[in-house]
Copies of this chain bind each other. A is one copy, B any other.
């Protein structure tokens, strides 16, 4: 296997990115990973879109953490996203903190980190930047755009904005618009960050501090929503952490408390608080129906794209009912769509985990679509 390649590219040097807010931004640095080889007719690319706190390190070893990439189980030679056959691309999103331009970077107008002067971005803006990246890579049409959670939002935006550029689209554990409950959880996280005095109105980098406590609380809240009640019960139940009895105090008596505290404190090391604000905001703003005059089906009229919609039965953050709404909209415009609700008790996080039914569903769909597209099992004429 060719090892995953991590690199950066600048887009918008010639013309800036026109954001949904009306502002222009650019040039923008895009950090991305590629795995496998682009074939001769440039028809075998799979664009992976990552989730809220994800990154472009999908396969191999993540150089930042030293651990396997977040979709390493799915991406590789012979795996579901078979890198003998496909050319996989994943870019860190606009507004992120892993290499693509975001609020931690230097604002060229001031010479200081952007902080809250960074423009508020949308899922559409993330997709615009990805489209520029594909332009630069010479990829006119991707074989597949795929992603879970916020990644699934980008998939839907891709299919709506660039139907001719998307042969297949696979939104997983996603929604066409962020729900009131999900906005509420995000707002709690943002308030926790902004309540931390070390946030300093967003200018913490200049003061040499980071809003660790606020960001940890934000992560802890969000983390609960990624798991199902069943998964939490099975993993931890009411088991105590290295003790025989409760301590009648405020230490982490319960394993679930210790686990959450760990999730909070390790997150702080790898994620930027302002990026968290911007990316959650982008998700909150996402409403594909409103973008298309109030009717979701309008986003997909005469779409040539083949869709595979996947949800997980115990996902209460992006429940199946939201995926069904997408399926209904696609059916109403006679789109080519298949839909699977995977039985799983692992909650929203199932899209990141080793769920055999999910993997087999995906493998079957991609195989069929690849045959239809005429892609041989091994990338031909790869360069």
Residues of chain A at the chain B interface (Cβ within 8 Å): 20-21, 116, 119-120, 177-181, 183-185, 187-188, 190-192, 194-197, 213-214, 216-217, 220-221, 224, 227, 229, 232-233, 235-238, 246, 248-250, 252-254, 256-257, 260-261, 264, 277, 281, 284-285, 287, 290, 316, 319
Say whether, besides A197-B197, A217-B191, A264-B191, A250 and B236 are in contact (CB < 8 Å): no
Interface of A is mostly: helix
* Chain copies in the assembled complex: 2
Roughly how many angstroms separate A232 CA and B179 CA in the complex, as a whole number? Answer: 9
**A232: which of B181, B216, B261, B281 is its contact (CB, 8 Å)?**
B181
Roughly how many angstroms separate A55 CA and B294 CA in the complex, as a whole number? Answer: 45
Roughly how many angstroms separate A261 CA and B190 CA in the complex, as a whole number? Answer: 11
Say whether, besides A217-B192, A261-B191, A236 and B119 are in contact (CB < 8 Å): no
Q: Please determine whether A180 and B287 come into contact, CB atoms closer than 8 angstroms.
A: no
Q: Please determine whether A256 and B216 come into contact, CB atoms closer than 8 angstroms.
A: no
The 5 A-B pairs with the shortest beta carbon distances in the complex, nearest first, are A195-B213, A120-B248, A21-B248, A180-B232, A187-B257
Q: Please determine whether B246 and A285 come into contact, CB atoms closer than 8 angstroms.
A: yes
Q: Please determine whether B188 and A224 come into contact, CB atoms closer than 8 angstroms.
A: yes
**A217: which of B181, B217, B284 is its contact (CB, 8 Å)?**
B217
Q: Please determine whether A185 and B224 come into contact, CB atoms closer than 8 angstroms.
A: yes
**A181: which of B116, B196, B220, B233 is its contact (CB, 8 Å)?**
B233
Q: Please determine whether B180 and A238 come into contact, CB atoms closer than 8 angstroms.
A: yes
Known contacts A120-B249, A188-B221, A217-B217; can you find 10 more A-B pairs with CB under 8 A? A21-B248, A119-B248, A179-B229, A180-B229, A180-B232, A180-B236, A180-B237, A183-B254, A187-B257, A195-B196
Roughly how many angstroms separate A253 CA and B290 CA in the complex, as a whole number? Answer: 15
Q: Please determine whether A187 and B220 come into contact, CB atoms closer than 8 angstroms.
A: yes
With both beta carbons as reference points, the residue of chain B lying nearest to A23 in the complex is identified as B248
Q: Please determine whether B224 and A184 come into contact, CB atoms closer than 8 angstroms.
A: yes
A120: which B residues are within 8 A, CB to CB?
Answer: 248-250
